[in-house]
Structure 1
Amino acid sequence: MSFVIKSRWRKFTGLVLAGVLAGSMALQPALAGDTGILASETGPEMILPKPRLELIDSRMVAEGVEHATYQGTLADGEPIMVQVIQADLHNPEVTVKPVAAQEGNYGKRESVASLGARTGAVAAVNGGFYGTSPPYAPVGSVVIDGELQVASDMYRTSLGWLEDGAVRFGYFNPQSYLELDQGLRLPVAGINQVEEGGEGIILYTPEWGETAGSPEETGVLAVLAPLEDGSYQVTGLVRGAAAMPAGGFVAGLPEEGPGVNELLPGTRVKVHLGQDPNWPGLKHLLTGGPLLVDGGRPVFQYALEGLAGTLAARHPRTAVGVTGDGKMMLVTVDGRQPGVSVGATFEELAYLMAELGARQAMGLDGGGSTTAWVNGQVVNRVSDGSQRLVANGLVVRSGIAVFIDGKRIYFDVPPRLEEGRTLVPLRAFFEALGATVDWQEERKTVVAAKGNRSVELPVGAFSALVNGEELSLDVPAKIVEGRTLVPLRFVGEALGAEVQWDPAKIITVNSLEEVGQ
């Protein structure tokens, strides 16, 4: 359910009062208690859209990360299937963050499975709304690692991560502008957004791609090339499409309004990519919507956030919430599958998130985009029959991620760090590396071979044989939870592989072609 909403703050002036009035009525059932039935003095009882859920399966995915599957029924008896990925934000091994498709190129899309595997995640879901046609621009704002990559003044709920580890939900209104030599400031209405004939300047950054605009468009684009002092200079005004200058920007100018008469060729400009001063210490942010739960109670403001009409009907849904004990929940509800799972309205989704324990929650993109991915597998039934490509997603990482020849490897016992060395389950590691492996029970020894290289690794010993030569080990092989764990770097390099360690706890292992030659 990916689409572009053209709403901006100035376009919501007339809707706020109407939304508040409608919302004041809609909020009453959310405060009616836990029975699921609202008593009425003048008419029949009103059944609230509160779901009934039954836990089908629950398992630990990685340290601090759990995946649960529920089946349930909505108030009218229709079935739903729900996936819940729960990440403990208090666990230092666990991180949850937004990730842009294709390494942040906003003209691209990517499947949730590819996005999760590429980033070393143990779980992932689809992210915010985006345009249904090229360039598939995200709706709202995106901040990743403190960098404002996409921005608009849309009245839509966002989820933000702060530097101190706190998370919050709210409205994000970034303050960016272009400053001319004489001190004149030209406000930027959006960053890396589709120009829709509005009254403000749209600023395109290198994340947008090699070109801004298109030959079919008639708007004026100002090319801002970098200067040595950190400022920029307008090097040209073009219509239609403009090449992105190296290290620079392209500014889309309105037909009338700020910038048309000021950003002339030769003009020097300072670019200020500001954030919302009400979000100090912002590290990551993703716009979704609507707000579903506040203070543990369902709220209904989807119309106020521009998501009324058919968009509010039952569809597959994705949502994100935070519990009172500091856990983040990534939730999907399958839909468009009669007799199996019919999806949910925004009201039903709000009650569902509250029922699951969310203190605060918001919706994400849904429909065919709704995808839940855990340890290399899509765990929900996507409504399109195959994964839809999306503009961004939310990924969950925990512990150490191991890639062998570009492919993420998942272990039934997670890798662990001991004395600065990484231990991994031997069989999955050796098989992914293309080596044969044998366990000699009488000697408690692992024997692995690849081409003309061999390793003999006794469990508990601080030495091993590599091609018959005895070498010392910092950390010995050991048995954990019934699995034999071996020191990754030692055995990888012994079998001729190249091993690289990233401070983000990502290990990359590359086989070398000369092994076995």
Structure 2
Amino acid sequence: MITKLKTNTLTILMTLILILTSISTVYANDTAVLNTRGVSFSGGSRNVSYITIDLNDSSVDIQAAISKNQIGTADSLQNISNQFKTEEQEVLAAINGTFFSAYDNNPLPWGTIQKDGKVIHIGNTGSVIGFTQTNEVKIENLYIAISGSINESGSWYAWNINHPFETADAVTIFTPEFGKETHQHSFTTIVVKAGKVSRITVGKTAIPTDGYVIVTGVPSLVNRFKIGDAVDYDIHFSEINFQNENASAGRDLISSWKEVTSAIGAGPTLIKNGVITANGLSEGFFEDEILTNRGQRSFIGVTKENKLVMGTVPSVSVKELAEIAKELGLYQAINLDGGASSGLIYKDRMVHAPGRLLSNAIVITKKNKQVAIAEPAVRVQIDGKYLETEDLPMIIDGRTMIPFRAIFNALDAEIEWDEKERVAIGMKDNIIIRLPIGKSYTFVNEEKMDLDVAASIINGRTYIPTRFVAESLGARVDWDAQNRVVYIWSK
């Protein structure tokens, strides 16, 4: 009787253990789900920790993040993630990003980084995962080239952005994302402020907040620049070609990449259109750590249902990581930096802690505050006439926002859109207003001023704060709360 009872008890315990070990651990909210479960592949099985995020939720945003908002620095993944915590948004998840110089005191990134629509570093090796403002995910073997102009006719070129070189033949652009000044060097520095050459000097130099500097030791190129010259540069996106370990531009990708606002380059691509690729050699990788060895890995990708999946896996090769990503239902996927860099955060929980400080990361945020479309009764009247616009005004954080073309046109202001810097510009009577998208500040005739609500792109339209813009252009503004009408008098 006792033996039978022991046997039954043992059977029950074994059954419970089998049940418990076969159940994956899931933590969820409305948009993001953390899951840990075993996944089988050709070389065995691994416990995979991954987060699934519904990109169909329009309040979700995907950010390319750099440590301390400055290239060449390093910080914990938690601190990088915390940079995006505000009253208006929470952090859903974060994962480590591109490769970087982890073993010296100069943690420069190796891969491409595109932040807030602006390319701030170029890798031209491997693959790049990009995200549009509408949360469309793109993965390409991306080649980025830089071509510049002088007084709209002369030409110049650059090798990279925010990446120091020790050779005199290098040509590098340094933007405010690199810091307040360039690195120590002995080459010529051309300072471009507000679109014009303001200074030409030698060595370490301050980087203007409203411009950039060009560092080179090529005399023939230096001689093309003169104080007062109008200088600009363009970014060209194409598919990368690798031949004899050299990268060059291939098929044009400008039309498919132009909507991307955030991007991180690493690689190789794991899955393309549902098919496993994981070919490091074809993407310019020659290290065993990428081609053959097993190690701690991080990955990110998207399903056909537009669900973003990002996670970490211990002790697998890149090829095995691709098999796991395929098993998780990914249709497009890319390998990220791994080893001691591999890290994953779900909200405030550290799912997998990196073994070192990081240069960069991918951070997923979700807006807390609701952005409400104004009721039809909210109208804007300018000089006695109601403003006609296809897009309704919006009330955002208690401020009336209106499409920038509509308000500037109605006030007889000239309009420009700086695609590279993502800035809406209005000009009237020697007054120039520059409204950077997503920033809580503006520039009026180069004077920086704070905004209660940042200019935003919503449903493909650029919305700007009505009162601030109108008053900056010399108009008078009143608000009729009872009738919900904004009155603007420009005369």
TM range (shorter): 0.5 to 0.7
User: Aligned partners of 1:171 and 1:231: how far apart in 2?
Assistant: 31
Once structures 1 and 2 are overlaid, which stretch shifts more, 322-331 or 391-400?
Answer: 391-400
Rounded Cα–Cα distance in structure 1 between residues aligned with 2:134 and 2:40: 39
8 Å contact kept, 1:223–1:244: no
Tell me, yes or no, if the aligned pair for 1:212 and 1:243 is still in contact at 8 Å. Answer: yes
Give 1:224's match in structure 2, choosing from 188, 191, 208: 191
User: Which of 82, 99, 118 is the aligned partner of 1:117?
Assistant: 82
Q: Relative to structure 1, is the Cα distance of residues 164 and 376 closer, same or farther in structure 2, using a 3 angstrom cutoff?
A: closer
Mapping of residues 380-459 of structure 1, within 5 Å: 380=352, 382=354, 384=355, 388-400=356-368
Q: How far off its partner does 1:259 sit?
A: 1.7
- CA pair 197-344 structure 1, distance change in 2 beyond 3 A: farther
Matching of residue 87 in structure 1 with residue 53 in structure 2: yes
Q: Which one of the candidate residues 144, 151, 154 is aligned to 1:181?
A: 151
Percent identical across equivalent pairs? Answer: 20
Give the secondary-structure state (helix, strand or coil) at the position aligned to 1:321: strand
- Distance in 1, matches of 2:131 and 2:62, equals 9
Q: Deviations over 1:30-65 (max 9, x none)?
A: xxxxxxxxxxxxxxxxxxxxxxx96521121x3211
Contact 1:164–1:281 (Cα < 8 Å) also in 2: no
1:107 aligns with 2:72: yes
Q: In 2, are the aligned partners of 1:129 and 1:364 still within 8 Å (CA)?
A: yes
Alignment of 1:91-170 (within 5 A): 91-102=57-68, 104-120=69-85, 121-132=91-102, 133-152=104-123, 154-170=124-140
1:303 Cα offset (Å):
1.7
The Cα offsets for residues 333-361 of structure 1, whole Å up to 9 and x where unpaired, read as 13xxxxxxxx1111111111111111110
Instruction: Answer yes or no: is 1:305 the counterpart of 2:276.
Output: no
Whole-angstrom CA distance in 2 between matches of 1:73 and 1:165: 30
2:210 aligns to what? 247
Residues 333-352 of structure 1 mapped to structure 2, 5 A cutoff: 333-334=313-314, 343-352=315-324
Cα gap change, 1:369 to 1:392, in 2 (>3 Å): same
Whether contact under 8 Å (1:178, 1:269) holds in the other structure is no
The 1:351/1:199 distance shift into structure 2, 3 A limit, reads farther
Q: Is the 1:225–1:232 Cα contact (8 Å) retained in structure 2?
A: yes
Distance 2:322 2:286 in 1: 15
- Aligned residue type for 1:376: D
Instruction: Please identify runs of 4+ aligned residues in structure 1 that moved more than 6 A.
Output: 416-420, 500-504
DSSP-derived class of the 2:182 partner: strand
**Per residue, is there more strand in 1 or in 2?**
2
**In structure 2, do the counterparts of structure 1 residues 130 and 273 end up closer, same or farther at CA, with 3 Å as the change threshold?**
farther
Partner of 1:235: 199
Give 5+ residue unaligned stretches, structure 1.
1-52, 335-342, 402-415, 421-499, 505-517
Paired letter, 2:162: N
Cα distance in 1 for partners of 2:353, 2:197 equals 51
Counterpart secondary structure, 1:122:
strand
Deviation string, structure 1 residues 105-136 (Cα, Å, up to 9, x no partner): 11322211122233121211111112233442
Structure 2 unmatched runs, 5+: 1-20, 86-90, 238-253, 375-451, 457-491
**Is the CA contact (8 Å cut-off) linking 2:188 and 2:217 kept in structure 1?**
no
Q: Which residue matches 1:287?
A: 265
Output the CA distance in 1 between the equivalents of 2:372 and 2:118.
34
Give the Cα separation in 1 of the matches to 2:165 and 2:49. Answer: 36
- Which deviations, in whole Å up to 9, do the C-alpha atoms of 1:239-277 show, x marking residues without a partner? 4x3332453322121457x624424x6362412243522
After superposition, the Cα gap between the structure-2 partners of 1:198 and 1:304, relative to the gap in structure 1 and judged at 3 Å, is: farther
Q: Structure 1 residue aligned with 2:231, among 256, 270, 278? A: 270
What letter matches 1:400 in structure 2?
N
Structure-1-length-normalised TM-score: 0.59
Q: Distance in 2 between matches of 1:296 and 1:190?
A: 33
For residues 390 and 243 of structure 1, the distance between their equivalents in structure 2, rounded to whole angstroms, comes to 25
Please report how far the alpha carbon of residue 74 of structure 1 lies from its aligned counterpart in structure 2 after TM superposition.
5.3
CA distance change for structure 1 residues 112 and 55 in 2, over 3 Å: closer, same or farther? farther
Distance 1:54 1:311 in 2: 32
How much does 1:143 deviate?
1.7
- How far off its partner does 1:231 sit? 2.7
Alignment partner of 1:368 is 2:345: no
CA deviation vs aligned residue, 1:259-309 (integer Å, no higher than 9, x gap): 24424x636241224352241222222112111101212113212223333
Q: Do the aligned residues in 2 keep the contact of 1:221 with 1:250 (CA within 8 Å)?
A: no
Task: Provide the secondary structure at the position in 2 that maps to 1:96.
Answer: strand
Contact 2:61–2:135, Cα closer than 8 Å, also in 1: no
Q: Secondary structure at the match of 1:158?
A: strand
Give CA-to-partner distance per residue, 1:418-448, whole Å, 9 cap, x none. 999xxxxxxxxxxxxxxxxxxxxxxxxxxxx
Correspondence 1:259 to 2:224: no
Tell me, what secondary structure is at the counterpart of 1:349? helix
Letter paired with 1:84: Y
Distance in 2, matches of 1:123 and 1:390, equals: 16
Amino acid aligned to 1:298: I
Q: Structure 1 198/419 Cα, relative in aligned 2: closer, same or farther at 3 Å?
A: closer
Instruction: Output the TM-score relative to the length of structure 2.
Output: 0.62
Q: Against the structure 1 CA distance between its residues 317 and 305, is the aligned structure 2 distance closer, same or farther, given a 3 Å change threshold?
A: same
